[in-house]
Every structure is written in structure tokens, then in C-alpha cells.
Amino acid sequence: MINIGCHLSASKGFKAMAQSCLAIGANTFQFFTRNPRGGSVKKIDRDDIEAFLRISKENNFAKIVAHAPYTMNLCSARESTIGFSKRMMSDDLERMEYIPGNLYNFHPGSHVGQGTDAGIEKIADALNEILRPDMNTTVLLETMSGKGSEIGGNFEEIACIIDKVKLQDKVGVCLDSCHVSDAGYDITGDLDGVVKQFDSAIGLDKLKAIHLNDSKNPVGSRKDRHEKIGEGFLGADTVKKIVNRSEFQGLPFILETPQENLEGYKNEIKLVKSLVK
Ligand code: FE
Ligand code: FE
Ligand code: ZN
């Protein structure tokens, strides 16, 4: 069995996401913790959370993934942006305690000309300020395509950040199949090699979630344009290899593909399940 789901709109709350999840044959999902391009946040609704916890328990949901807003940049050149980003992450993690034991994914950040080393330093410093020993959430750094001045376009950069984090058991990695291919890792030609590279740089024990996306562009393009499963440069064969990889079993697989509606995701989930041996 595969733990699979897709990115869902959080606008109607947790109970609605759990119901959508069931309706499309999923047992996990991802959502934005707040407006992805802004930062505004909704008030905690305890009844809604209760309903979600009940549905997810009754249906044995896998871990779900919260996604930080795109405006977050823990290594910005502007101190005010770093401050804003740190407050958003702290607040998000406080709210995550209402749904304990899940995952919180964020984009490491863009160093905007300060250089990779300075960026890595700032991200690690921020995490060391924000993470708490009593937290029940694992914070995930997402592997990026390496466009612009993005940090996390290779496994070594992610490993460098994690190495500097004091609370090691609170951090992990989310591997995005479109991003790693766009970043130059040939998962179509040599998935074995890429998994080995991940393991030697970061360690497979740190891998906590997969973003399962096809890519509109060939390996190394550094574009970050997701495609529907089987319709891009990875193709169904590569996706089949990914979902059957022994090292990835038990992880939540989240689709972030350009489907128009839930019906599209329902069909795509069915397709992915048909690829599982
Ligand atoms: Fe992302
Ligand atoms: Fe992603
Ligand atoms: Zn992406």
C-alpha cells in the first residue's frame, strides 16, 4: 500500500480537507498553513480540528504535510524579511501542535546574492532559534530545483544546513521529484545513483516525505515547472520506479501536479496506485 494524496485548498478548514482526501482515495494530503503569497492566517477552530483528528484516526491517515508560504525566506538579505519569516514559522509550528506528529515543509530560501555559505548559515541560525525540544512536528527542508539563488538545489547544501541544526530529531527532508530532476539529478536514467547520492550526503533516515511530480522540462533545466504524472520528462516509468523504491516505503507521497480539480487528482491517484507493485 502506498501513502498518497495531493495538495488541497485549506480555505474550508481541516475537516473539509479530510473529507476531500477520502473522496479521492487518498490517505494523506498537503495544505498551505496560510496565504502562500501573503502571510495572513485563520483563527484556530477547535471543532474543525477535532473533526479532522477523528476522521484521520478512523481512516488511518498517514502523516500529513503542512507547507510554509512562498514569502518565507530565512536567508533574505533584509533583516525585516528574516524576522517576518521566523515569526511565521514559529507561529505555524505552534499551530501544528493542535495536530501533533505531522510534517512541516518549507523552501530553504534564496540567498539573493549573499552567497550560498552565508545563506546556509542564516537558515541554520533561524532554525536553531525556532525549533523547540518539546515540539511534536518534524520540520522538512524541501529539495529545490536550484533556480535563481535558491539554496537546496543540491543535497550537500541541505546536508550543511541540517548539520548545523542542534535539535537533529526535529528536522528532515522532503524530496520533490520535479525539483531534483530540474536540479540535475538524473532520476530517469539513474535513480539508484541518485538515491545513493542522497544517502551519502544527507542520509536516508532524514527522508520524511516525497513530492511526487512530473516535470515540464528535461533534467538540469533549473525551471521548477511541475507536470501531471506520466505527461512530462520523467514519465510513468520513472514514477513507477520511485513509488516502488524500498527506501521510500511508508513515506507520504504528495502530488503537486497541475490538475484542474479534485476529479483530476482522483484519477491521478488511481494511476499512481496502479503503478505500485
Ligand atoms: Fe514546495
Ligand atoms: Fe514541492
Ligand atoms: Zn516546485
Residues 6+ apart with CB under 8 A from 239: 177, 212, 214, 229, 230, 272, 275
Predicted local distance difference test score (pLDDT) of residue 36: 84
CA 29 distance to own-chain centroid: 11
- What values do phi and psi take at 204, rounded to 5? -65, -20
- Give the DSSP letter of residue 204: G
Cα(14)–Cα(33) distance, integer angstroms: 11
Ligand that comes closest to the CA of residue 222: 3
Query: Hey, what's the cell of 64?
Result: 500529513
Topology classification of domain 3-275: TIM Barrel (3.20.20)
- State the ligand closest to the CA atom of 183: 3
Q: 179: CA distance to ligand 3 center in Å?
A: 6
CA dist., res. 179 & res. 173, Å (int)? 13
d(CA 194, CA 181): 10
CB 243 within 8 Å of CB 212: yes
Query: What distances in angstroms separate CA 218 from CA 57, 70, 175, 225, one per listed residue?
Result: 40, 24, 18, 10
For 26, the 3-state DSSP assignment is coil
The pLDDT value recorded for residue 98 is 98
Residue 225 CA to ligand 3 center (angstroms) comes to 6
Domain boundaries, the chain: 3-275
- CA of 40 from ligand 1 middle (Å) equals 18
Distance 180 CA to ligand 3 centre (A): 10
Ligand nearest, relative to CA of residue 254: 2
pLDDT of residue 39: 80
Residue 38 pLDDT: 79
User: 266: CA distance to ligand 2 center in Å?
Assistant: 19
Angstrom distances, CA of residue 198 to CA of 13, 68, 184: 35, 23, 13
User: Of the bound ligands, which one is closest to the alpha carbon of residue 176?
Assistant: 2
Parts of the chain with a pLDDT under 70: none
Q: Which ligand lies nearest to the CA atom of residue 107 in the structure?
A: 1
What is the whole-number distance in angstroms between the Cα of residue 93 and the centre of ligand 3?
Answer: 22
What is residue 6's DSSP assignment? E
Give the per-residue pLDDT at 229.
98
Closest CA to 25 of 257, 253, 227: 253
* 109-110 vs 150-151, strand pairing mode: antiparallel
